Amino acid sequence: MVDAGNAFKGTRIGTDSNGGMSGWQAESGRSPTAVARTIVSYWCVDGHETRPTFAKLNDEEIPEIWECGRCGRPAGRSPGVDLNVDGDEPFKSHLQYAKERRSEEEAMKVLDDALRQLRRRHTP
């Protein structure tokens, strides 16, 4: 059996003795600089707040509309404003699309078939 020794004992991956810098930082002698950031609040019509972080930009460079992180609807920088444009279909979940394709009776039949197959697989 070959013993690798203790060469790596007590060291972490990515560490370097070069002043705490590793990789491109150690090679170039440069350390990354922090970029000024700004957090902007957006609200969808349901009142969900989404807060993306942007690099510090002029106010006119920040998007007016952002997608809601919870429901996917368009969100604006003012709360309570409905941003759905006429002709745009509002956001629908997968379940809402599935309900459009099947009646309640068809859905129950599909569910019963799936449960029957699961029970058959797990019955000893």
What is the pLDDT at residue 50? 92
Q: Which helix (H) or strand (E) holds 111?
A: helix 104-122
Considering the domain boundaries, does residue 27 fall inside one? no
Segment 91-123, tens digit of pLDDT: 677 878 888 888 889 989 988 999 999 999 888
pLDDT digit string, tens, across residues 18-77: 555 666 666 676 767 777 888 999 998 888 999 999 888 888 888 888 888 888 788 888
Q: Which helix (H) or strand (E) holds 122?
A: helix 104-122
Q: Does 26 reside within a domain?
A: no
Residue 113 has phi, psi (to 5 degrees) of -65, -45
Q: Do residues 47 and 76 share a domain?
A: yes
14: in domain: no
Per-residue confidence (pLDDT) for residue 34, from 0 to 100: 77
Question: How does DSSP assign 20-60, residue by residue?
Answer: TB-THHHHH---PPPPPEEE--EE-TT--EE--EEES--GG
The C-alpha atoms of residue 98 and residue 37 are separated, in whole angstroms, by 41
Q: Pick from 51, 86, 88: which is nearest to 68 by CA?
A: 51
> Looking at residue 112, what is its pLDDT?
93
Domain that holds residue 96: 92-124
Q: Is residue 28 part of a domain?
A: no
CATH classification of the domain holding 72 = 2.20.28
